[in-house]
């Protein structure tokens, strides 16, 4: 009996510690983020454990449902309500199960005891070294494939990480880890090595939008945040930009992805020399054609930007044809309308499988103007807090997400959902560095 009493007393003490120290919960948050590239079961289990641990730390004094945390919860409430008018009830129910993190994670973080910006750095350190390890693994697998087949495409884009993981999403995840190492005021050899590996990994993934955002953020960091001497700062900045330029000019696979967008953007019906359907020539669609042509042919190819222009255009058509301004079609219920538009305009069948590839448009089409405004409110509050705290990593996250949402329907993938929600909650509930310093004194 005494043994049982002592065990229960020890368990109670451990639970009591959870109510005053967020260390265990933050470690699990790091595990959740680092498990994103793995099978969904791992990140799901880690997310559930994080939620349970946060709920165990609940006290009336700890519980703080701030506006930052309330917004994603309201976003999920609107998703749930949209089931009442959804044009595809089954798809909406599936979406509600997938998007449950919008409810669970913010509520869990509202139960956490206060934690500092310094503790947050520990989360990002764990995550960043984890992604450096992923980069080594995927590059190693590509090397083995290349040595056995002689096909160097194994090193680039979806082939490097598999299309299921998606090169663009992996670029976003790896870029955040990259900027953790860039932002370190002093770097040990292992940190410099991790930085170099991640930089190469991001370039090999060849996401045009992510590489552009990263280049801008590198300039921002060395212009406004770096504390190294000016001469070292400029030398580092020039070296990084030269490395980027060298890769774009001399690495064929990367160069061709950028040239395809540049050469086809403003010229109609350029010949695509890398894709064929076995029956004839394939022609690239320009931005003008994507926005204006009524009928397309089966041998028309949409480069990335042209496809997104077309998807935005058909959203405008949907707004005019259907009463979706206030309510939308319902969560995850817009795909049948995209398919109908693809048939109407004569697109190749494969294009009907794509979502809007724009989170702003996706949200407006499915949740109406109120969902769109809630999304903007989350992004605005996130960016405002980042600028107010002058936290470079927070700025990296906030700016990257704002730009990325223009090219990807980020919430349509579970990996994107978890990455956004966990980082959003981590950043917007941490104590500012100035307040932490005052409390420590």
Return the bridge partners of 270, or none: 284
Q: Provide the Cα torsion 393, 26, 97, 130; round to 10°.
A: 60
Instruction: Please report which residue ranges of 328-413 form alpha helices under DSSP H.
Output: 335-345, 359-389, 392-404
Give me the pLDDT at residue 287, please.
Answer: 93
What is the CA 197 to chain-centroid distance, rounded? 20
CB 263 within 8 A of CB 274: no
Give me the pLDDT at residue 267, please.
Answer: 81
Give me the pLDDT at residue 232, please.
Answer: 74
Residue with tokens 């690495």: 251
Which of helix, strand or coil describes residue 323?
A: coil
Q: Distance between CA 167 and CA 312 in Å, rounded?
A: 22
Q: Compute φ and ψ for 432, nearest 5 degrees.
A: -60, 150
With b for 16 or more beta-carbon neighbours within 10 A and e for fewer, the 173-185 pattern comes to bbbbbbbbbbbee
Give me the pLDDT at residue 114, please.
Answer: 81
Q: What is the pLDDT along the chain (441 residues), one digit of tens a residue?
A: 454 434 334 333 344 444 556 788 899 999 999 999 999 999 999 999 998 888 887 775 678 889 999 999 999 999 999 999 999 999 999 999 999 999 999 999 998 888 888 899 999 999 999 999 999 999 999 999 999 999 999 999 999 999 999 999 999 999 999 999 999 988 999 999 999 999 999 999 988 889 889 988 988 898 888 887 777 777 877 877 787 777 777 666 777 777 777 777 788 888 887 776 556 789 999 999 999 999 999 999 999 899 999 999 999 999 999 999 999 999 999 999 999 999 999 999 999 999 999 999 999 999 999 999 999 999 999 999 999 999 999 999 999 999 999 999 999 999 999 999 999 999 999 877 655 443 443
Domain ranges (residues) in the chain: 1-110+303-441, 114-265
Give me the pLDDT at residue 21, please.
Answer: 64
The residues, any chain, with a CB within 8 Å of residue 212's CB and separated by 6 or more, are none
The string of DSSP letters for 29-75 reads HHHHHHTTTS-HHHHHHHHHHHHHHHHHT--TTT----HHHHHHHHH
Tokens at 436, concatenated: 């932490």
Give me the pLDDT at residue 15, please.
Answer: 40
């Amino acid at each position: 009996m005494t043994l049982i009493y002592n065990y229960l007393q020890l368990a109670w003490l451990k639970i009591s510690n959870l109510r005053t120290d967020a260390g265990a919960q933050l470690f699990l948050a790091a595990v959740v983020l680092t498990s994103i590239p793995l099978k969904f079961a791992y990140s799901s289990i880690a997310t559930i454990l994080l939620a349970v641990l946060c709920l165990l730390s609940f006290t009336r004094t700890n519980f703080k449902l701030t506006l930052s945390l309330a917004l994603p919860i309201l976003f999920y409430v609107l998703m749930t309500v949209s089931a009442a008018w959804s044009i595809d009830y089954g798809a909406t129910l599936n979406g509600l199960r997938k998007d449950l993190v919008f409810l669970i994670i913010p509520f869990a973080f509202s139960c956490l005891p206060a934690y500092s910006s310094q503790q947050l750095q520990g989360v990002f350190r764990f995550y960043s070294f984890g992604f450096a390890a992923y980069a080594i693994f995927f590059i190693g697998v590509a090397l083995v494939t290349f040595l056995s087949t002689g096909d160097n495409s194994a090193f680039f884009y979806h082939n490097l990480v598999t299309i299921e993981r998606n090169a663009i999403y992996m670029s976003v995840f790896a870029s955040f880890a990259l900027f953790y190492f860039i932002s370190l005021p002093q770097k040990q050899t292992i940190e410099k090595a991790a930085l170099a590996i991640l930089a190469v990994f991001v370039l090999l993934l060849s996401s045009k939008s992510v590489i552009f955002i990263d280049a801008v953020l590198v300039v921002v960091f060395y212009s406004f945040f770096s504390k190294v001497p000016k001469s070292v700062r400029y030398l580092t900045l020039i070296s990084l930009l030269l490395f980027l330029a060298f890769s774009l000019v001399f690495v064929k696979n990367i160069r061709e992805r950028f040239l395809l967008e540049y050469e086809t953007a403003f010229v109609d019906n350029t010949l695509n020399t890398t894709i064929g359907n076995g029956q004839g020539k394939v022609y690239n669609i320009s931005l003008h054609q994507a926005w204006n042509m009524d009928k397309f042919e089966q041998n028309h190819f949409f480069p990335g930007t042209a496809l997104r222009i077309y998807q935005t255009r058909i959203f405008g058509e949907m707004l005019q044809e259907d009463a979706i301004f206030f309510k939308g079609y319902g969560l995850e219920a817009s795909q049948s309308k995209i398919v109908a538009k693809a048939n109407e305009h004569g697109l190749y069948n494969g294009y009907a499988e794509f979502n809007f590839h724009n989170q702003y448009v996706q949200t407006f089409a499915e949740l109406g103007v109120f969902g769109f405004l809630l999304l903007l409110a989350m992004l605005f509050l996130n960016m405002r807090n980042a600028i107010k705290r002058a936290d470079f990593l927070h700025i990296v996250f906030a700016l990257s997400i704002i730009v990325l949402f223009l090219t990807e329907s980020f919430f349509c993938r579970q990996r994107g959902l978890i990455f956004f929600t966990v980082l959003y909650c981590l950043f917007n509930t941490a104590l500012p560095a100035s307040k932490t310093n005052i409390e420590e004194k």
